[in-house]
Amino acid sequence: MYVEGFVDGKLNFKTPTSVKSWSPLWEHTSSVITRPYSLLQFKVTQVVKFGPNILLGEGKLDVYSIIDSHDGKVPLCCLTIQITKRGLITGTLTVNFGPLEVDIEAFPPLSADAEQSSLEESIVPNFSSGHSVGGIRGITPGAENGAVALPAVETTGGRRSRSQHAITGSNFWSEMIRVLFDPSPPLTPEPTHSRWGSAAQPNLRLPRSDWSDGASESGRQRESPRSEVSCVDNTALPEGWERRLDPHTNRVYFVNHKNCTTQWEDPRERGMDESRPLPPGWEKRYTAAGQRYFIDHNNRTTTFIDPRTGQHAGSLGSMGVPVQYERNFRAKLAYFRAQCSSHLLSGHVKLSISRDGLLEESFQQIQRLPASDLRKRLCITFLGEEGLDYGGIAREWFLRVSRDFFNPMFGLFEYTGAHYSLQINPASDVANVAHLDYFHFIGRVIGMALFHGRCIDGGFTLAFYKGILGRKACLQDLELLDLELYFNGNYYKFDSLQEDELKPGGKEIKVTEANKLEYLKLMVEWRLTRGVAEQTEAFLKGLFEVVEPSWLQVFDERELELLLSGMPELDVDDWKSNTVYRKYNPTSKQIVWFWRFVRSLDKEKRARLLQFITGTCHLPLGGFAELMGSNGRQLFCIEKTGTEAWLPRSHTCFNRLDLPPYTSYAQLQEKLLLAIEETEGFGQE
């Protein structure tokens, strides 16, 4: 954990992080520039490895009250600051303050209005050494201990008297651990959707909002430095949130009515500084998912960066960057697994299935289960077999059942034109009358595979993964799906021509230079959702009964494909023996470097390389010798093109990699890694 120090709401210093200790000691000295009427604020934050840091509490120190209590002559003294969170005492912080000497007669006590005005006009603090303003030299954060002081009491004479009470030893820390890490959830009508109170598993989906809105902030008066944080009424909560009290434990919890979830953590307390107004011309808004963002009307731009603090408005990942932009797949995977583990319910779900009727029996038994049972451990038995399921039988079941319902002959899915990626069959209602029930079942199975860490045999198109993540598809997604469609809005069903209007009255609207972008957007949406809206809705309903949508938001569509389908074991020798070259030969130094680079990659990046070249991380039966392109069987090809300043370029429809003639292995390695991780767009065919 670490401590941040603020002077009149401005961050002034931050201590080093103390690890492996519940009684941390920070040997940190910092000089701050203040006014006699300044308010010092200390925030204690716990560092979370995989997820955003957790605010443990904060305390305040009124500089004038210290000067006034010592008649302007403050010796080097040890002060204990009470740390509170949502009105609950979570600890104390000890700081060494002084020495300093101030002419107290030159600084009379201020009224509430004058005090607020002085606070707003305070000097912006900076790190300094030996400087002083009004005789105030500096403060030194000390150590956190086990004593908790009661709030200060304002006397009629204007002085603050202190009443001390200590909670020491095991009583203090047991209380703090109960507040922070009590795993028991509040009682709710839907326990399967309740949010478990674990500080180590933060919720990335929930929005962060203000302690108060602008109107209330303008009229707010400064609190007593040792007063407890008052509870904020429901009007200050984000839209759709409600504050409740658990009658059994008297603990406050919060209800998200949008997603029907509960949690211990206040959605407004996520380490954000809302004490200052936005700059002129700026506005704060929220997305439909509750993510906060900012609009700069001066430049007509939007951003997730808070212009007041320079910090990202979203949740921060383990590397200190926004989770949704963090490319560390292993860290994202660890976070997702931690979320699943924390929501795993006790007990087992037992399925007895015959191999001959695998799909139909699985459908009947899974659909009979309540949604809560899908988060229990699986125990699968194949009839007539004596094997005990310690994970191996469940893995085989996921593989076989997914192979059955993904089979295009079953009629629910179909292959795309150029790859083995699958998309929903618009005519699935013809193949199966109960197709919506089956898509709900498939969504449950996919959710169970994600929740229990299993893989399936098959994979969807990247556009479908984007749909799962709630992201908009783009033109290159359509290009990967259907190169022959172009801009034709007609299709055949039962040998009769069907025509859909992209918008009401679209038949009478001509495509012009002015409306071509709208036309392209509508065409992409029509092509990707044509006849599959009901099927997609049923699938997502089953999927989100098992996994929360927010758990998946840390991944992009390619990472979600790897998460669901697994990272295959690629045989580099098989890959190399089934490769053809253009303008290169097997002994060219660039080719030798390329295969050296492939062998040096770990499993994750090797799968990403295959995905970059072919559009999918899956291999057909038969390995690289059976790779399919836009015109049937097509081997992997490396072609010499461009100059050494170019990045490698892939042609996914033809399984071809354009490799420039780099002059060194280090250059080839750098360019390939950059292309795999960062590039996208029309360079991918």
Q: 589: helix, coil or strand?
A: helix
Helices (H), 453-532: 462-468, 475-481, 516-529
- Told to judge if 653 belongs to the known catalytic residues of this protein, a careful annotator would answer yes
Closest to 81 in 3D by CA, of 67, 102, 95: 95
Distance CA 216, CA 237 (A): 13
Pairwise CA distance, residues 480 & 464, whole Å: 12
73's enclosing H/E stretch is strand 73-74
Strand partners, 518: none
Residue 340's contacts (CB-CB under 8 Å, 6 or more residues apart) are 450, 451, 452, 453, 547, 551
- Catalytic pick from 455, 617, 637, 653? 653
Strand, helix or coil at 62?
A: strand
Query: Dihedral (C-alpha) 192, 198, 200, 204: value to the nearest 10 degrees?
Result: 50
* H-assigned helices in 510-647: 516-529, 533-544, 549-552, 557-565, 572-577, 589-600, 603-614
Maximum pairwise Cα distance, the chain: 96
3-state secondary structure of 491: strand
Report CA 377 to chain centroid distance, whole Å.
Answer: 26
Q: How far apart are CA 238 and CA 233, in angstroms?
A: 11
At residue 245, φ and ψ (nearest 5 deg) are -120, 125
Give the separation between CA 229 and CA 220, rounded to whole angstroms: 14
**Would you list the DSSP string of 325-371?**
G---HHHHHHHHHHHHHHTPPSSEEEEEE-STTHHHHHHHHHHHS-G
* 380 Cβ contact partners less than 8 Å away, ≥ 6 residues apart: 350, 351, 352, 353, 389, 393, 394, 397
**How far is residue 280 from each of residues 170, 298, 621, measured CA to CA in Å?**
50, 9, 61
DSSP per-residue string spanning 517-537: HHHHHHHHHHHHHTTTHHHHH
Cβ contacts of 292 within 8 Å, gap of 6 or more = 207, 208, 209, 284, 285, 286, 304, 313, 314
Determine contact, residues 318/331, Cβ cutoff 8 Å: yes
Determine if the peptide bond prior to 280 is cis (ω within 30°).
Answer: no
| Tokens 């430049």 -> residue | 299
Residue 94, amino acid:
T
Quick check: 560 and 553 in contact, CB under 8 A? Answer: no
Catalytic residue positions, numbered = 653
